[in-house]
């Protein structure tokens, strides 16, 4: 490997691989118990599966008949997150509705299952649902209120990372694990590629925690172990307006695209399942897009004609074990903790895999309990008791909060992103704490570029501000802009039609023709192809 110097070596007690929800949760829990910890992530935090779901924090009701263990875990963690992470949550519950095509008998068994598991589900009048959510299908036969809510995965994981650092953990981003290190049959660390410094880094550790999610199998394979995972891809859509105020799901066995969730200023729908793929394959299956649109129409008639902002895919790390892979819907959504010393005679390595975003904290606690047992550390877990940063007030997000914040201050004239109300102050505050803050990180924390224009009017403003304040190179700023536009383009082109097609044509004219920012941006040829496809 070429680089700018000699290899670098670091030593720690525990090395955590993976900067998703579970990995960051493990790093925080270990640090809170006084264990020296380093976490490595090949990209930004929450850049894998954690960032590619609908943001639903499950009550467990969805899985109660098919996977009761996972259901109970979800409900318990739902309640825990309400206590310790309120600032990053939204809503007070969700509606499950029975449509005319659904099995009425299933609804009765489902309701009984929830009551047996002590998941508080209340049957409510259909008229109440239609009064509070007038966009919902008026033909619904029964309706139920459940504790499902939504959350912001980026900011929640960011808060975990802040807390982990406050307790002494080190988080090394853009460090890709390229090999595990063994001595006398024991895993004693990992070789990483520091992408920013372009050098190899050896991190020696007493224990390595493999929390790489859908890539966990690849990490384990570095020392000849097999973690039986089934990477199942799901497709989700974002519509440009918040058509409902609470999540709405169908009361039937889990299936494709049977739930819709509000997410800040937009509406999300998804997801599909069963598209088995490589963990890095985030390509969009056009058939799955049609499935999401078809099923969304059943819940919210007319929604398929709304403006679609983008489509994206996420890959679930389903743990197979001894299960059959014929139907991914029947594979457990619970998690598995693998002690490779006991299972494979490979001391020094622990893998935590499977589960849901909802249960990340529980997964981290169980993995940390095992690590602490091996290290002889007797301190108890406190992550279910200690609130995350900025959640002390127990205030939850509500849709009018960003506008209220701007109206009550003097920053109304300093908007960078009108769609999501991102201000100059939002960007500068992060740069003060982290001079290497990127456009992608600002998007994660403040939804820059996630509104109707998909970065058309805000990305060049934010790039200029970041370049001015960080005093980086022009080439670096242009590369960031290109990468940002490319990610926005990836999500738009599979669903280009109508108003969003016109928006992309405008973006292409602005960046390619006026600003000559061809790198990373859609080209006129690409837009012409999509435009012709739409017109014909």
| pLDDT score for 26 | 98
Q: Work out the pLDDT band at 411, boundaries 50, 70, 90.
A: low
pLDDT at site 54: 87
What's the pLDDT tens digit per position in 249-295?
Answer: 999 999 999 999 999 889 999 889 888 889 999 999 999 999 999 99
pLDDT at 368: 98
Burial class (CB in 10 A: 0-12, 13-18, 19+), 508: buried
Mean pLDDT of the chain: 90
Two tokens, residue 78 = 């739902």
Cβ of 145: how many Cβ atoms within 10 Å?
18
CA angle (263, 54, 114) in 5-degree steps: 105
Reported confidence tier of residue 393, pLDDT bands at 50, 70, 90: low
pLDDT for the residue 5: 47
**Measured CA distances, 521 to 198, 337, 483, 485, 511 (Å):** 26, 42, 8, 5, 7
- How crowded is residue 202: how many other Cβ atoms within 10 Å of its Cβ? 16
6 pLDDT higher than 60: no
pLDDT > 90? residue 7: no
CA angle 76, 80, 84 (to 5 degrees): 170
Looking at residue 53, what is its pLDDT? 86
Please tell me the predicted confidence (pLDDT) of residue 410. Answer: 66
> How would you class 483 by CB atoms within 10 Å of its CB: exposed for 0-12, middle for 13-18, buried for 19 or more?
middle
What band does 405 get if pLDDT is binned at 50, 70 and 90?
A: confident
Q: How many CB atoms are closer than 10 A to CB 455?
A: 26
Q: If DSSP states are collapsed to H, E and C, what string results for 483-530?
A: HHHHHHHHHHHHHCCHHHHHHHHHHHHHHHHHCCCCCCCCCHHHHHHH
For residue 133, name the pLDDT band (cuts at 50, 70, 90): very high
Mean pLDDT of 93-103: 97
Give pLDDT, residue 325. 55
pLDDT of residue 3: 44
DSSP string, 82-126: HHH-GGGEE-S-EEEEE-TTS-HHHHHHHHHHHHHTT---EEE-H
Share of the chain above pLDDT 90, in %: 66
Express each pLDDT in 335-385 by its tens digit.
999 999 999 999 999 999 999 999 999 999 999 999 999 999 999 999 999
Q: Summarize the confidence of residues 479-491 as an average pLDDT.
A: 90
pLDDT of residue 412: 57
pLDDT at residue 408 tops 60: yes
Region 513-521: mean pLDDT is 66
Domains of the chain: 91-148+232-327 (3.30.9.10), 401-535 (no CATH)
pLDDT band for position 1 (cuts 50, 70, 90): very low
Please report which confidence band the pLDDT of residue 518 belongs to, taking 50, 70 and 90 as the band edges: low
How would residue 525 be classed by pLDDT, with cut points 50, 70 and 90?
very low
The pLDDT assigned to 2 comes to: 39
pLDDT-derived band at 500 (thresholds 50, 70, 90) equals: confident
Instruction: Please say if the pLDDT value at position 399 is more than 80.
Output: no
Residues 6 or more apart in contact with residue 388 via CB below 8 angstroms:
84, 85, 87, 88, 156, 159, 160, 163
Q: Which residues pair with 445 in a beta bridge?
A: none
pLDDT at 516: 75
394: confidence class by pLDDT, cuts 50, 70, 90:
low
Question: Residue 16 and residue 212: Cα distance in Å, rounded?
Answer: 9
pLDDT for residue 434: 76
Would you say 392 and 235 are in contact if contact means Cβ atoms under 8 Å apart? no
Can you tell me the distance from the alpha carbon of 221 to that of 192, in angstroms, rounded to the nearest whole number?
16
* pLDDT tens string 108-123: 999 999 999 999 999 9
Q: Which residue has the higher pLDDT, 469 or 360?
A: 360
pLDDT of residue 392: 65
- Over residues 49-83, the pLDDT tens digits come to 988 888 999 999 999 999 999 999 999 999 999 99
First-last CA distance in the chain: 50
Residue 323 predicted with pLDDT over 70: no
């Amino acid at each position: 490997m070429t680089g700018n110097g000699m290899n670098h070596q670091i030593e720690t007690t525990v090395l955590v691989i993976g900067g998703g929800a579970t990995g960051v949760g493990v790093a925080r829990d270990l640090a809170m118990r006084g264990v020296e910890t380093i976490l490595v992530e090949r990209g930004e935090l929450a850049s894998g599966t954690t960032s590619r779901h609908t943001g639903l924090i499950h009550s467990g009701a969805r899985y109660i008949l098919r996977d009761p263990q996972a259901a109970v875990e979800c409900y318990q963690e739902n309640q825990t997150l309400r206590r310790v992470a309120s600032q990053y949550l939204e809503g007070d519950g969700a509606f499950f509705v029975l449509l005319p095509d659904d099995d009425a008998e299933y609804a009765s068994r489902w309701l009984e299952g929830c009551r047996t598991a002590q998941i508080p589900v209340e049957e409510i009048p259909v008229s109440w649902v239609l009064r509070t959510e007038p966009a919902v299908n008026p033909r619904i036969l029964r309706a139920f209120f459940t504790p499902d809510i939504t959350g912001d995965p980026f900011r929640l994981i960011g808060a975990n990372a802040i807390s982990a650092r406050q307790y002494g953990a080190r988080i090394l981003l853009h460090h890709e694990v390229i090999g595990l290190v063994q001595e006398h049959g024991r895993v004693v660390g990992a070789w990483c590629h520091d992408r920013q410094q372009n050098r190899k880094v050896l991190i020696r550790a007493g224990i390595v925690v493999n929390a790489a999610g859908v890539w966990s199998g690849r990490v384990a394979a570095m020392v000849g172990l097999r973690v039986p995972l089934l990477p199942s891809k799901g497709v989700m859509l974002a519509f440009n307006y918040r058509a409902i105020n609470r999540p709405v799901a169908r009361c039937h066995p889990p299936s494709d695209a049977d739930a819709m969730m509000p997410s800040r200023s937009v509406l999300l729908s998804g997801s599909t399942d069963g598209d088995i793929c490589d963990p890095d394959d985030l390509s969009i299956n056009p058939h799955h897009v049609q499935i999401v649109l078809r099923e969304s129409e059943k819940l919210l008639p007319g929604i398929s004609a709304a403006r679609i902002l983008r489509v994206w895919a996420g890959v679930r790390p389903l743990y197979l074990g001894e299960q059959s892979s014929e139907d991914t819907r029947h594979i457990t959504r619970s998690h598995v903790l693998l002690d490779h010393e006991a299972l494979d005679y490979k001391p020094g390595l622990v893998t935590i895999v499977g589960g849901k975003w909802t249960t990340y904290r529980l997964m981290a606690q169980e993995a940390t309990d095992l690590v602490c047992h091996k290290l002889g550390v007797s301190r108890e877990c406190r992550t279910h008791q200690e609130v995350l940063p900025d959640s002390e007030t127990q205030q939850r997000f509500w849709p009018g909060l960003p506008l209220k914040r701007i109206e009550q201050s003097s920053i109304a004239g300093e908007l960078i992103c009108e769609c999501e109300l991102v201000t100059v102050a939002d960007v500068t505050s992060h740069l003060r704490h982290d001079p290497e803050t990127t456009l992608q990180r600002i998007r994660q924390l403040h939804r820059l570029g996630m509104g109707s224009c998909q970065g058309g009017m805000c990305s060049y403003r934010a790039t200029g501000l970041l370049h001015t304040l960080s005093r980086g190179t022009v080439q670096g700023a242009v590369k960031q802009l290109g990468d940002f536009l490319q990610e926005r383009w990836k999500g738009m082109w599979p669903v280009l039609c109508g108003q969003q097609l016109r928006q992309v044509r405008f973006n292409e004219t602005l960046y390619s023709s006026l600003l000559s920012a061809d790198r990373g941006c859609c080209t006129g040829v690409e837009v012409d192809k999509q435009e012709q496809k739409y017109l014909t």
